[in-house]
């Protein structure tokens, strides 16, 4: 089946074409929902078959079907497919989450009328190009799909483009991610300059990549990671993601769980054979991840928009994955183990399930009460039992409470970072940042859950449980969020499976039994530090938002009050970007506009004016008098003779 993996992105793309061009009377059920579900389901089925074959030991790395796209001199640019263990995990994420989001949309987008066709067309194109990105076998092919992913996110974030805030959020996302894309393109160009190829099979060969000078390899890998910083909303290019909540909640679920932001983590993981050759880049990756995890979690502590809480949560969890990839590179180099790499990918998969669940639960709540503001909610647990229970499962998973999925992967991430501290002391500081984030994550997630579902209603609404077409995906995702972490123990274990995609970087891929893994996890005192902090965060949230008489105003006074104001203003980072754009970028634009008008246009218009004036003067010589013309000809011939007979010999020409 691996040879047919190229069909996976084709199915949703065909659905996109059909939804876009078929006449309205031909479209079935809700303006294309049927075609969308069919295309997503077909891609899911083929993905499952491909994943099963990969789990059986088959891969296709460099020897898959290709077609020649462009020939320039001796350079041949081809498109092909790359199927390995990392690809399989990404196919799980995109296919399962994508299909469930499309099914959920069938009910959620019911009231959108004429906009439904556009929504389903764009969502299917989004899923299709993400599949294309995942199975690409070279950087150029990946970059093309990378840009298409950005285009689709722009269209879907600005889906309600009539609303100024949605249009602004779409432009912000598009512009900010372009900064990362320029860095990615520059990194790719550097690699092409020194290697002469962008195929993974060539670039990932250690001898070939060694042809790149060390300083250029560091620069290239940092620039490639710059693309991930933009796409995966890492500090300092993270502020576009919270504003991207202006799109439909289903779009948010897809962007946060399966497509846009996961593309950056995937790019970093796919580039591991290059990053390993530049330890400075690995440290940079880890620092960015650690700072992002802590920074985003702190802002989520005070957010009151339910979707914005989840948005900052996504940024923080992506920081965990990035941190694990950076630390994992050190473990590959100095400990010959892929523990950090496998932890990052396991957390990527687990996060996809519980974050999709949390966003779709938030959509269910918003669908019921008509507001995103958690201060206007409360008491929904009695009226929306399925939504409240499934969202509780997602909250427990992301908080890292066993046996839910987030516990297993988050513990592996923190263990890898701490272990990397043996080789560079800065990882101990990054571990401390990660462990502090555990407490904050548990607190803000259960603050959100208690404010939404516990207590009494704080506004007048007539909420009811969402339709079955919406609650069915919630229950499936809740089940996955509860058990996906146990992939760590299935068969030879997730570690053994995923490390096969970087097997060439390790002397030996080690097999660990479930007993060995459990012994390592629960025999490590640091595991209990994480658990105590997570439990403490939940208990503090319960006391603050469920226990009558608790005075929360204490946090709005003194130093903590100023800190709260800073958090409510998102550490003023967004304001800094707005001011920078207004005062610097806009000022430069005014200067450029003036230069264009008065210098560039002035030169062009000046030549035009000179030509016109000289033409007017010369035109006066056209009198129609033949005698004058003859006289001018004689004078011209005389001047020419003088020049040829006297001037040329005198000058020695």
> Residues near 399 by Cβ (< 8 Å), separated by ≥ 6?
406, 441, 442, 445, 446, 534, 537, 538
Any idea what the Cα angle at residue 492 is, between residues 486 and 493, rounded to 5°? 30
Say what the pLDDT of residue 397 is: 97
pTM of the model: 0.91
- Lowest mean per-residue pLDDT among 19-23, 97-101, 625-629: 625-629
Over residues 372-395, the mean pLDDT reads 93
Over residues 551-558, the mean pLDDT reads 66
Check whether 491 has a pLDDT greater than 80: no
Judge whether 326 and 282 are in contact, CB under 8 Å: yes
Check whether 290 has a pLDDT greater than 70: yes
Check whether 557 has a pLDDT greater than 70: no
% of the chain surpassing 70 pLDDT: 98
The torsion angle over the Cα atoms of residues 411, 412, 413 and 419, rounded to 10 degrees, is 110
Say what the pLDDT of residue 385 is: 94
**What number of other Cβ atoms are within 10 A of residue 576's Cβ?**
13
Which 8-state DSSP code applies to residue 305? B
Query: Which of 67 and 331 is assigned the larger pLDDT?
Result: 331
Between CA 598 and CA 61 the distance in angstroms is 56
Say what the pLDDT of residue 149 is: 95
Any idea what the Cα angle at residue 611 is, between residues 606 and 613, rounded to 5°? 95
Between CA 118 and CA 152 the distance in angstroms is 12
Query: Which of 3 and 209 is assigned the larger pLDDT?
Result: 3
Judge whether 405 and 481 are in contact, CB under 8 Å: yes
Q: What is the pLDDT of residues 400-434, one digit of tens each?
A: 999 999 999 999 999 999 999 999 999 999 999 99
Average pLDDT, the chain: 91
Check whether 384 has a pLDDT greater than 80: yes
Check whether 113 has a pLDDT greater than 80: no
Binning pLDDT at 50, 70 and 90, where does residue 209 land?
Answer: confident
Between CA 327 and CA 333 the distance in angstroms is 10
Distances (CA, A) of 173 to 155, 229, 585, 599, 636: 10, 13, 17, 34, 68
Q: What is the pLDDT of residues 211-232, one digit of tens each?
A: 889 999 999 999 999 999 999 9
> Residues near 79 by Cβ (< 8 Å), separated by ≥ 6?
66, 67, 69, 136, 137, 138, 141
Say what the pLDDT of residue 65 is: 84
Helix %, strand %, coil % of the chain (to 5):
75, 5, 20
Check whether 499 has a pLDDT greater than 80: yes
**What number of other Cβ atoms are within 10 A of residue 318's Cβ?**
30
Say what the pLDDT of residue 562 is: 82
Check whether 556 has a pLDDT greater than 70: no
Say what the pLDDT of residue 344 is: 97
The torsion angle over the Cα atoms of residues 339, 343, 345 and 350, rounded to 10 degrees, is 160
Instruction: Single out the residue of 446, 452, 251 nearest to residue 360, CA to CA.
Output: 251
Binning pLDDT at 50, 70 and 90, where does residue 509 land?
Answer: confident
Check whether 33 has a pLDDT greater than 90: no
Listing DSSP states for 129-167 in one string gives HHHHHHHBSBHHHHHHHHHHHHHHHHHHHTTTTTSHHHH
% of the chain surpassing 90 pLDDT: 67
Say what the pLDDT of residue 152 is: 95
Between CA 259 and CA 255 the distance in angstroms is 5
For the purposes of burial, counting CB atoms within 10 Å of the CB of 457, is it exposed (0-12), middle (13-18) or buried (19 or more)?
Answer: middle
- Lowest mean per-residue pLDDT among 111-120, 183-192, 316-325: 111-120
Distances (CA, A) of 584 to 514, 575, 590: 57, 13, 10
Over residues 526-538, the mean pLDDT reads 95
Say what the pLDDT of residue 270 is: 96
Check whether 558 has a pLDDT greater than 70: no
Binning pLDDT at 50, 70 and 90, where does residue 630 land?
Answer: confident
Binning pLDDT at 50, 70 and 90, where does residue 94 land?
Answer: very high
Check whether 73 has a pLDDT greater than 90: no
Check whether 554 has a pLDDT greater than 80: no
Binning pLDDT at 50, 70 and 90, where does residue 145 land?
Answer: very high
């Amino acid at each position: 089946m691996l040879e047919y993996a190229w069909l996976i992105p084709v199915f949703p793309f065909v659905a996109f074409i059909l939804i876009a061009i078929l006449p309205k009377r031909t479209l079935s059920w809700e303006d294309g929902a049927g075609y969308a579900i069919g295309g997503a389901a077909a891609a899911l089925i083929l993905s499952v078959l491909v994943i099963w074959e990969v789990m059986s030991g088959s891969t296709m790395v460099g020897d898959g079907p290709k077609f020649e796209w462009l020939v320039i001199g001796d350079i041949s640019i081809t498109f092909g497919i790359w199927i390995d263990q990392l690809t399989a995990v990404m196919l799980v994420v995109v296919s399962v989450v994508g299909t469930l989001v499309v099914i959920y949309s069938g009910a959620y987008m019911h009231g959108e009328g004429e906009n439904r066709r556009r929504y389903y067309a764009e969502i299917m194109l989004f899923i299709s190009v993400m599949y294309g990105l995942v199975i690409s076998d070279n950087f150029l092919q990946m970059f093309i799909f990378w840009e298409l992913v950005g285009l689709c996110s722009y269209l879907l974030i600005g889906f309600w483009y009539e609303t100024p805030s949605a249009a602004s959020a779409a432009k912000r996302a598009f512009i900010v991610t372009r900064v990362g894309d320029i860095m990615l393109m520059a990194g790719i160009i550097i690699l092409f300059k020194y290697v002469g190829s962008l195929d993974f099979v060539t670039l990932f060969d250690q001898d070939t990549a060694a042809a790149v000078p060390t300083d250029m390899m560091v620069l290239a890998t940092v620039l490639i990671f710059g693309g991930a910083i933009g796409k995966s909303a890492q500090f300092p290019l993270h502020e576009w993601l919270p504003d991207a909540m202006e799109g439909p909640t289903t779009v948010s679920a897809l962007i946060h769980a399966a497509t846009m932001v996961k593309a950056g983590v995937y790019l970093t993981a796919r580039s591991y054979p290059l990053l390993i050759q530049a330890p400075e880049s690995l440290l940079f990756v880890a620092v960015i991840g650690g700072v992002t995890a802590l920074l985003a979690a702190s802002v989520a502590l005070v957010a009151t928009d339910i979707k914005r809480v989840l948005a900052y949560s996504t940024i923080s969890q992506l920081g965990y994955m990035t941190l694990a990839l950076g630390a994992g590179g050190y473990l590959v180099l100095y400990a010959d183990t892929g523990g950090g790499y496998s932890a990052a990918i396991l957390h990527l998969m687990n996060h996809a399930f519980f974050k999709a669940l949390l966003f779709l639960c938030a959509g269910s709540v918003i669908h019921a009460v008509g507001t995103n503001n958690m201060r206007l909610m409360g008491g929904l647990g009695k009226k929306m039992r399925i939504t409240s229970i499934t969202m509780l499962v997602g909250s427990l998973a992301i908080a890292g409470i066993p046996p839910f999925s987030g516990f297993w992967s988050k513990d592996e991430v923190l263990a890898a970072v701490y272990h990397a501290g043996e080789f560079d002391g800065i990882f101990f500081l990054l571990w401390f940042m990660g462990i502090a984030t555990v407490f904050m994550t548990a607190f803000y997630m259960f603050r959100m859950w208690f404010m939404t579902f516990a207590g009494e209603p704080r506004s007048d609404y007539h909420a009811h449980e969402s339709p079955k077409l919406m609650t069915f995906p919630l229950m499936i995702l809740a089940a996955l969020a509860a058990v996906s972490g146990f992939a760590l123990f299935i068969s030879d274990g997730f570690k053994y499976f995923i490390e096969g995609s970087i097997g060439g970087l390790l002397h030996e891929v080690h097999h660990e039994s479930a007993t060995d893994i459990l012994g390592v996890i629960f025999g490590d005192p640091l595991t209990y530090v994480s658990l105590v902090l997570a439990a403490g965060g939940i208990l503090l949230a319960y006391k603050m938002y469920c226990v009558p008489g608790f005075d929360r105003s204490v946090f709005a006074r003194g130093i903590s009050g100023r800190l709260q104001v800073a958090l409510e203003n998102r550490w003023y980072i967004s304001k800094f970007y707005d001011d920078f754009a207004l005062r610097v970028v806009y000022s430069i634009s005014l200067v450029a506009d003036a230069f264009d008008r008065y210098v560039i246009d002035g030169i062009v218009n000046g030549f035009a004016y000179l030509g016109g004036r000289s033409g007017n003067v010369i035109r006066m010589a056209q009198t129609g008098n033949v005698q004058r013309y003859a006289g001018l000809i004689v004078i011209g011939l005389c001047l020419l003779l003088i020049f040829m007979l006297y001037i040329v010999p005198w000058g020695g020409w």
